Amino acid sequence: MMIMAFCITLFNANAAETEKLIKSKPDKIVVYTQGAQVHRTASVNLVAGQNTIVFTGLENCINAAAIQASGNGNFIIADIQHLVYYPEVVKAKLNGDVRYKKAIKSITDSIQEITYVIEEVRAKSDALVTEKNVLMSYGLYKGQTKKDSMPYLKEGLSFLREKLFNINSEYLKLKREKEKMESKIQTLNDRITAINNELSNQNQDGEVEVVDYRIIVNVIADQPMVASVNVNYYITNAGWTPSYDLRAISNEQSVKLTYKAQIYQQSGIDWNGVKLVLSTANPNRSYNIPNLSPWYLGYAYQYKNTDIKKLNSMYEQPASTTQKSIANTDSYSLSGGVETDEAKDASSYTTVSENVIETEYEIKLNYTIPSDGKTHFAAILVKDLKTLYRYKAIPKLNNNVYLTAVLPDWEDAITMGGEASIYYDGSYVGRTSLSPGGTEDTIQLSLGIDKNIAIKRQKIKDKCSQKLLEENIVHQYTYEITIKNARSSKIEIDIEDQLPLTNDKNVSIERKELSGAKYDELTGILKWRLNVQAKDSKKVSLVYQIKAPKTMPISVN
């Protein structure tokens, strides 16, 4: 088989008798992150010689340069065309039907003439208003003339009354005339709207006609036969984005990752009961091989600690800011301890195919995706992630102890980044972003606050002191952190605190007692990881000294 040139043409009403209009349903649609590939198949009775097969009722966003055709049978594909068929009424609108154009021009001319009349009426009304204002401002009527001018005043008032009556009467006539003219313009505009609706929306039978997007396949057959003809083409107004659910039922079970697709399409054709394949590929991405340019060395900027903190804050994304209180039980079950059969989802019918460039998820279910541009969800797969449950607290900031789920192998489960909703014990906790390919290969999810574990950070005042040394003062600070585990099982908890940092060469900070904490020289962060037995407690101490000039006030928390 061979494929000839692609072109866009208008429908020829004098088509040959061998032309066959085919209404088809997509066999399969491969949805990319941007765009989709639609596959259609038709069984056609061919005659010997030239045959024209017209696939009708297609999407409105077909890329004419990416249409392919094939088939099964002893025939040759001679040509492929992308055709936009305009119904007769639509053609009349595009080409300008003479009768309608004349009618609309006549109405438009009438509107223009009436507009001129309204402008004239408005000008006369403005003149009357000006005349009235001049009369009302005349000094005679304001009592600004001499006291012995009473006869003149009476005569003037009589004149004023007559003139005001005439002005007001004429003004009302002009107002009525203006309102009549505006009513006529509204009637003429309604007539134009009715003509346009009549022209664009209805044919002779009164049925709505729409533009039909078609693909024409011209084939040549040696003899009559029944053949199968396949077309596939790329459309632009479709795509999908990934999203995730991370569900933890208890702190003794793995976090379950649900990989979902948010599918959308606005192609003008509803996809009813079609087979979907979701691909991570993007046909719009450029695959041109880049070139290296000459690399010249420059001066390196020396970052300060404050600059590094700013950089870190730009890229840090907390797993969740929503707080949820953990119940008093040590383990949880959505079913209340009774085993039930769970409903299946689409992930049970998904087949995954991976290669070096892309991953495809074939869902062996019939899906309906309307052409509404809205998001429609489909579950792709469900995986259990290796999970380490650990508690975390920062008592310098608050006395809450958070239950966290640490996922060391989360990147192995996903291929694309996206937003993830976090659930614990059946309740929504918050959201986080999953971005594979970053520097962090472990993610930590906050699942809420556990009221069964208490923590307190206390300043030990009798172990804090100040000592004067010549021009300097040595400040010593002592803190004690206490953890109490009221649970019936052992816990592992990460505790964070910090030491102050300084860029002043006259100030020095000395660590005296850290109780085994790991210290980060760059950030000043201290980290303890402790195991606390059930119904037990532990304490850690933090002692440090600050030496600074006695003229420099020191304040710490």
Per-residue confidence (pLDDT) for residue 440, from 0 to 100: 64
Mean pLDDT of the chain: 79
Per-residue confidence (pLDDT) for residue 10, from 0 to 100: 36
Per-residue confidence (pLDDT) for residue 354, from 0 to 100: 72
Retrieve residue 557's tokens: 């928390």
Per-residue confidence (pLDDT) for residue 15, from 0 to 100: 41
Retrieve residue 250's tokens: 């208890």
Q: Residue 131: which H helix or E strand, with range?
A: helix 98-136
Distance CA 244, CA 399 (A): 31
Per-residue confidence (pLDDT) for residue 320, from 0 to 100: 40
Reported confidence tier of residue 296, pLDDT bands at 50, 70, 90: low
Per-residue confidence (pLDDT) for residue 340, from 0 to 100: 42
Strand partners, 55: 22, 215
Q: What is the pTM of this model?
A: 0.59
Distance CA 91, CA 209 (A): 11
**Nearest by Cα to 161 from 132, 119, 200, 196:** 132
Mind listing the pLDDT tens digit for each residue in 200-251? 654 444 444 578 899 999 999 989 999 999 999 999 999 999 888 888 887 7
Per-residue confidence (pLDDT) for residue 301, from 0 to 100: 44
Reported confidence tier of residue 8, pLDDT bands at 50, 70, 90: very low
> What dotted CATH number matches 454-549?
2.60.40
Distance CA 350, CA 320 (A): 30
Domain range list for the chain = 8-86+211-235, 94-201, 238-284+299-451, 454-549
Most trustworthy range by pLDDT among 319-333, 338-352, 461-475, 528-542: 528-542
The answer on pLDDT for 112 being more than 80 is yes
Per-residue confidence (pLDDT) for residue 300, from 0 to 100: 45
Distance CA 369, CA 376 (A): 7
Q: Are strands 62-72 and 518-519 parallel, antiparallel or unpaired?
A: unpaired
Per-residue confidence (pLDDT) for residue 399, from 0 to 100: 93
**Inter-residue contact 481 to 454 (CB < 8 Å):** no
Retrieve residue 160's tokens: 């004023």
Which SS3 state, helix, strand or coil, does residue 286 take?
coil
Which SS3 state, helix, strand or coil, does residue 70 take?
strand
Mind listing the pLDDT tens digit for each residue in 356-409? 567 888 888 888 999 998 999 888 888 888 888 889 999 999 999 999 888 887
Distance CA 233, CA 70 (A): 12
**Inter-residue contact 467 to 473 (CB < 8 Å):** yes
The answer on pLDDT for 252 being more than 60 is yes
Q: What average pLDDT does this structure show over 398-424?
A: 85
Per-residue confidence (pLDDT) for residue 40, from 0 to 100: 95
Side chain identity at 417, as an amino acid letter? G
Mind listing the pLDDT tens digit for each residue in 42-94? 999 999 999 999 999 999 999 998 999 998 888 999 999 998 887 655 555 55
Per-residue confidence (pLDDT) for residue 322, from 0 to 100: 42
224/125: higher pLDDT = 224
Distance CA 31, CA 310 (A): 40
Q: What average pLDDT does this structure show over 137-153?
A: 59
Most trustworthy range by pLDDT among 114-118, 147-151, 425-429, 457-461: 457-461
Q: What average pLDDT does this structure show over 534-553?
A: 91
Reported confidence tier of residue 531, pLDDT bands at 50, 70, 90: very high
Per-residue confidence (pLDDT) for residue 95, from 0 to 100: 56
Give the burial class of 387: count Cβ atoms within 10 A of its Cβ; 0-12 exposed, 13-18 middle, 19 or more buried: buried
Reported confidence tier of residue 99, pLDDT bands at 50, 70, 90: low
Least confident of 309-313, 406-410, 515-519: 309-313
Mind listing the pLDDT tens digit for each residue in 258-294? 888 999 999 999 999 999 999 988 887 766 677 777 7
